[in-house]
Chains A and B, each alone.
Chain A
Amino acid sequence: MHILKFITAGSVDDGKSTLIGRLLYDSKSILADQLEAIEKQSKNVAEGEIDLAILTDGLRAEREQGITIDVAHKYFSTDKRKFIIADTPGHIQYTRNMVTGASNSDLAIILIDARKGVSEQTRRHSIIISLLKIPYVLVAINKMDLVNFSKEVYDNIVEEYKTVQQQLDLKQILFVPISALAGDNIVDKSNQMPWYKGEPLLHILENVPVNSDVNITHGRFPVQWVIRPQTEELHDYRGYAGRITSGIFKKGDVVTIAPSGLSTTIKAIETNNTEVEEAFSPQSVVIHLTDDIDVSRGDTIVNKENPPIITQDIEMILCWMDSKPLEVGSKYIIQHYARQTRCVIKDIEYRLNVNTFEKEQNVQSIQLNDVCKVTVKTAAPMVVDSYAKLRTNGGAILIDETSYVTVGACIIQ
């Protein structure tokens, strides 16, 4: 069995939390005591209807305001698959939390209110989904019950969204008309919309390919930790512990240590405390090398073929997440998996207008929730790939040097 991680994105009242509640409820993942607690709280909401949104709004402040502030993770499974849902906030001020949820997802559900059509937030969320290269997008046109299950309304929104899709170059995309509140086209096909020929939402989630972007050609192994027991019987044991982020490594492979460029051979690979002939992503393993060379945390062991880029000048799309603005000349800590160094912002090429998708030039400072393209210079060489080519080695974060808060999501070009 495999896991599908997905996010739900949409505007404030598009019914995200209700959709998740519906999925959990209809797949029988809400347990009796949880349901009882929801029913107790729902009484003053609507007559007789239980408020499924209560399930995901786990914080007091969220329940008070009726909004989602931070990502809630929910888990459910069917006979076919396990699902991890990241329920992300719709409000613009919590965009950074949406990026947090989106960065690890295989699929995104974008909810659109059938009465309102494509909104500013739909565009903003779509742009983030496209930047983060989430492989699949499922556009769920919700509240169909409030537009009399009209095919015409649905068709118009599909057309409207297709322009967004083209502008953003979103590739694998599906549309489904639903009513999260009433349960139409969620688990079973709706009788109300015989004109819809596709499958219900859960069926799509169960069948969309997972790990379709798994890479078996670009071996990358960032060293996290060196295991050296230094006991009598394990005197010479020196194992490099880490997780293979992409590709395959085999015993006997000639590999390069990046960024130093030294070359050596894999002597042994261990996983589960036993030796294996080969290992692949995303396995956590221990690698032994033939030569006694300098390798430590922050180094990456890579295949001879398809080498990464080793550079101190990095062009990146940046999602800015701090209330303190970013300017040319600002310095930060950059963390790329196990490697950390300092960096300085050299140039702001443009800011992306998330509504018009226009690239705005001559921008002096970047504000909270802005998306921009920048060039940075790092204090030490970095071992990276373009995010578009290799999602697992193309992301990095910026950390404020004094507050230590994560302030930027870097998508390396």
Chain B
Amino acid sequence: MDKYRLDYLEQLESEAIYIMREVAAQFEKPALLFSGGKDSITLVRLAEKAFRPGKFPFPLVHIDTGHNFPETIKYRDNYVKSIGETLIVRYVEDTIKSKKMTEPKGKFASRNGLQTYTLLDTIEEFKFDACIGGARRDEEKARAKERIFSVRDEFGQWDPKRQRPELWNIYNGKIHKGENVRVFPISNWTELDVWTYIQKENIPLPGIYFSHDRKCVLTKENQLVAVSDFIQIDESDTIITKRVRYRTVGDMTCTAAVESEASTIDDIVKEIKISRISERGETRIDDKVSEAAMEDRKKGGYF
């Protein structure tokens, strides 16, 4: 009997491929949101498994805040070229200019909130009816409540009290004009599952995930934020060079580095296995605003 049983990672992979194909079949204009982070890179590998030797039935879309790590952008462009798929990039900078938006001010002012506007505009521009994203339920407690197919109204809003029942693995993607669905094929994966999969599949990653020397500001909360033009550095700040890596890849303004010697995927898997701190807790400055920070952003149209 064991001959006909899948290992847990194969089970998760098969489920994700199944979900991707449901998106391709049920929607007219889907898109895959690709940031160059490990989760969306995993999605791309899964899409290759779902649709090769055909082309992806959707473009990759990146909402570029302008505050990305240059390594990520370089990786993004090279990777997309290597797999021969289409990439659409839309810039938060353009939204700010065209809509005369106010940029948040302060020391680590983040465009993370403004990103939602650009995303919603992009969805409207291309009439995307489904956006595949790499969010996982283990990341955060509001995300633990998400369906695989998450229906958003025309303002992109998530209504956690009125989610559709989601039975077995039958996904109801029927929506009205103007609405869209956010689809999360790796909902049931944990951070360690993603890393183990990257290791198994030998997927190339941006260099910032691996140990390197970096000049950082040490914040009051003891987080290490990379020195860049996007953050405000005061005279009282301590600037130190540390051996670090990034456990998640967001903007330079809202992602903190972790001290690490892990220079290969194998090292990283070992490190994650013994880590006693969650990835968002360790690296995300934007989640620390309030108890319901993520829930509020999701209600507003964020992922």
Contacts and interface: CB of A to CB of B under 8 A. Distances in A.
Interface of A: 1-3, 31-34, 37, 41, 55-56, 58-61, 63, 69-75, 82, 84, 96-97, 99-100, 103-104, 211, 214, 216, 224-225, 227-229, 234, 237, 241-243, 248, 272-273, 280-284, 297, 321, 333, 335-338, 392, 395-397, 399, 404-406, 409
Given A31-B281, A216-B4, A404-B175, A96 B165 contact: yes
Contacts, number: 169
Nearest to B57: A225
Contacts of A338: 22, 25
Contacts of B6: 282-283
A3 B49 contact: no
B17 interface: yes
A56 B137 CA distance: 11
Contacts of A337: 170
Contact of B167 (A73, A103, A405): A103
A37 B289 CA distance: 12
Contacts of A3: 8, 11-12
Given A2-B8, A31-B277, A335-B170, A58 B295 contact: yes
B178 to A, nearest CB: 13
A55 B140 CA distance: 10
Main secondary structure of the interface of A (DSSP, over half): mixed
B77 to A, nearest CB: 24
Residue of B50, B52, B164, B291 most packed against chain A (CB within 10 A) = B164
12 contacts: A59-B145, A70-B145, A73-B187, A74-B144, A75-B190, A103-B168, A104-B169, A211-B5, A224-B21, A224-B22, A241-B51, A242-B21
A72 B141 CA distance: 8
Interface residues of B, number: 60
Contacts of B14: 243, 282-284
B141 A273 contact: no
Main secondary structure of the interface of B (DSSP, over half): loop
Contacts of B5: 2, 211, 214
B9 to A, nearest CB: 9
Nearest to B296: A60
Given A216-B4, A404-B174, A225 B25 contact: yes
B4 A336 contact: no
B53 A272 contact: no
B164 A406 contact: yes
Contact of B160 (A70, A225, A321): A70
Contacts of B1: 214, 216
Nearest to A3: B8
B86 to A, nearest CB: 15
Contacts of A395: 167-168, 170
Contacts of B25: 224-225, 297, 338
Contacts of A392: 168
B164 A405 contact: yes
B276 interface: yes
Contacts of B142: 58-59
Given A58-B140, A395-B168, 6 more contacts: A31-B278, A59-B145, A84-B188, A100-B165, A396-B170, A397-B167
Nearest to B175: A404
B50 A284 contact: yes
B261 interface: no
